[in-house]
Chain A
Amino acid sequence: MNIMMLLEMTSGAFPDRPAFTDGSSGASLTYAQLFEAAKSRAATVRASEAQRLVKLDVSNLGTPISLFTSAWAGVPYVPLNYRLTDEEIEALLQRVTPAYLVTEEKRIPRLGALPDVAPIHTGAFVDDASHADSLEDTWSMDPEEVAVLLFTSGTTGVPKAAVLRHKHLVSYILTSVEFASADDNEAALVCVPPYHIAGIAAILSSVYSGRHVVQLPNFSAEAWIDLARSHEISTAFVVPTMLARIVDALEGETSADMSHLRSLSYGGGKMPLSVIERAMKLFPDTDFSNAYGLTETSSTIAVLGPDEHREAEAASDENIRRRLVSVGQALPGVEIEIRDDEGRVLGPGERGEIYVRGEQVSGEYEGRGSVTDADGWFPTRDAGSMDTEGYLFLEGRADDVIVRGGENLSPGEIEDVLLTHPTVLDAAVVGVPDEQWGEGVAAAVVPRKGAAIDVAELQAYVNEHMRSSRVPQLMEVWDELPYNETGKLLRRVVKAKLAEAVVS
């Protein structure tokens, strides 16, 4: 088993089909060119005696070439976050030496001076002329070989390197993608960062389906819309904050035509109901899917599909309607359970920690081994609940639970109520220090365009819908909430800022 085999199959079936296009430069590779590129770079990497191939750059043609070169050469692929500071990058790089480093030219003097780092700038790596030989050996089919090491964004402490083996990634692709299923005019717009699991999954899924990928290295709503139109994009994945910006930009246009966009999937954070409803109105012919997954699970483990979106949107039954904010049901071959703090499996509607099991689930970190239990279950540290039909609802991180006077409160539950108020666009609820209760409930809320939030009235509104212990004792009105580039709410930032307000 090897992800190179996925590329080999597509390259054999559609050698002349466009595989990747760099949306910023317009440079392009066919499937046959990508295959040959991996073959020659694999020889270069082997000759360097590096044990890892590190890519430190925005999305470009060097990204898929690096991924497949690594697989062919038999060394793990390590994409690093180019937004980190120089010190952070150096610390991570030194954990993965001896390394063959593909990076921007301006970084080479500094990083190339590190021990056991063989640097090449991305332009030279992509240029065929830099690679004289081709690797005659084929790639290893050992399913246990490590394909990718991904540093997780860990909010505290030292970043962990999640280990994804060829068996995890190949299994994910075989169960979720049908080979060669893309028509020759299909194109995917990929705007997620290359160092994120969604960026890797996007490459592998597109390759196995034979789809053309257009890369957008630095997201802006305007650039996304321009590329989507100029390449007649048929499918795309966005995180919630990106979709919110795209919807905002398109609502200002007289004609928001995007009829070539057949499917739009989203994930990576909680999608506000108002955003998805506005998007469904703007793109009435587009299929929407919501995907939930983690680095440690080789990407998607649950999906809310297009038909379920339409059914939920049209439903009058509140239990079906709320599925629009669920992440759908487990993929085939994936099992999901909700458990309490003692590890007991909970029933429908009960909130607890999400556990997952399946062939694509790694749950392994470098130097620490696997954190799955004896039966293969991986604790996601995400909190959630499932309804009677197995629809999964996310409730934030398990660590985000607010403990107020011994009672466990879920921030997500309170945020859901705040978001139903007509003046509220976005909301974040966190625990803040409280002398009487240990922790108290605090909220940051963002008003809708043209609306004003009356804090006292909003507190009364929550009190009407929930027990009084859940009413935020502190509420601040902000212009926007802090999100990272992949759409995750930076809850610790909200928490720190609101905790300061408590003290003062």
Chain B
Amino acid sequence: MPELKTGARLKSTVCDGEIMVVTTPGGDIDLTCGGAPMVDAGADADRVDINPDHAVGIVIGKRYINEAESLEVLCVKAGEGSLAVDGNLLLQKDTKKLPKTD
């Protein structure tokens, strides 16, 4: 269970999914994708089987938060696995549509 740092990039071990940590409550966090722990994006890791209950997928450019909104991640590569912390699935964050300003 690696300590999550803001800005860190992690990859899934069940699919091509990758995320970046936007906000973290600090300390060790059990972040999984498709039911399997996520690993540092630069690390070598074997593919493992996806947990079918964690297989809705993640969408590039979408942000995901936990219930308490203390953890926020950005999906930077899409995948078939769903994100979860301590077994609880993360929620997709709604973004307010803003006018283009630059």
Contacts and interface: CB of A to CB of B under 8 A. Distances in A.
Do A and B interact with each other, yes or no?
yes
Nearest to B72: A174
A299 B98 CA distance: 15
A87 to B, nearest CB: 32
Contacts of A116: none
B42 A138 contact: yes
B6 A289 contact: no
A300 B99 CA distance: 11
Contacts, number: 77
Contacts of A305: 98-99
B14 interface: no
A177 B101 CA distance: 9
Contact of A178 (B9, B61, B76): B61
Interface in B1-30: 6-9, 20, 22
Contacts of B9: 5, 141
Contact of A176 (B20, B62, B101): B101
Given A5-B20, A174-B22, A289 B101 contact: yes
A166 B100 contact: no
B74 A174 contact: yes
A201 B74 CA distance: 20
Contacts of A138: 42
Contacts of A265: 99-102
A13 B60 contact: yes
B54 interface: no
A176 B76 CA distance: 17
B102 A205 contact: yes
A195 interface: no
Given A5-B76, A9-B60, A201 B7 contact: no
B101 A9 contact: no
Nearest to B77: A12
A209 B22 CA distance: 19
Contact of B100 (A143, A174, A263): A263
B77 A141 contact: no
B101 A237 contact: yes
Interface in A272-326: 287, 289, 291, 299-300, 303, 305-306
Given A1-B6, A138-B42, A174-B74, A202 B102 contact: yes
Contacts of B63: 174
A12 B79 CA distance: 14
Nearest to A289: B99
Contact of A143 (B6, B77, B101, B102): B6
A269 B32 CA distance: 48
Contacts of A179: 60-62
A201 B102 CA distance: 6
Given A13-B60, A174-B74, A179-B60, A237 B102 contact: yes
Contacts of B95: 178
The prevalent SS among residues of A at the interface is mixed
A338 interface: no
A332 interface: yes
Nearest to B6: A143
B93 to A, nearest CB: 10
Interface string A148-192: 000000000000000000110000001011111000000000000
A327 B16 CA distance: 43
Contact of B7 (A143, A300, A303, A306): A143
A266 B18 CA distance: 36
Interface in A204-239: 205, 209, 235, 237
A306 B99 contact: yes
A331 B97 CA distance: 11
Contact of A180 (B7, B42, B60, B77): B60
Contacts of B77: 9, 12
B100 A289 contact: yes
A176 B42 contact: no
A198 B96 CA distance: 22
Interface string A398-433: 000000000000000000000000000000000000
A205 B60 contact: no
B60 A300 contact: no
A300 B20 CA distance: 24
Contacts of B99: 263, 265, 287, 289, 303, 305-306
A1 B8 CA distance: 7
Nearest to B59: A179
Contacts of A1: 6-7, 20
A49 interface: no
Interface string B77-101: 1000000000000000001111111
A237 B9 CA distance: 33
Contact of A167 (B6, B60, B102): B6
A248 interface: no
| Most A CB within 10 A of own CB, among B74, B76, B77, B99 | B99
A179 B9 CA distance: 18
Interface string A7-41: 01100110000000000000000000000000000
Nearest to A299: B102
A133 interface: no
Nearest to A211: B100
B7 A166 contact: yes
In the A-B complex, the 10 residue pairs with the closest CB atoms: A179-B61, A1-B7, A143-B7, A291-B101, A289-B99, A305-B99, A201-B102, A202-B102, A265-B101, A300-B101
Interface of B: 6-9, 20, 22, 42, 60-63, 74, 76-77, 95-102
8 contacts: A5-B9, A143-B6, A174-B22, A201-B102, A265-B101, A291-B102, A331-B98, A332-B98
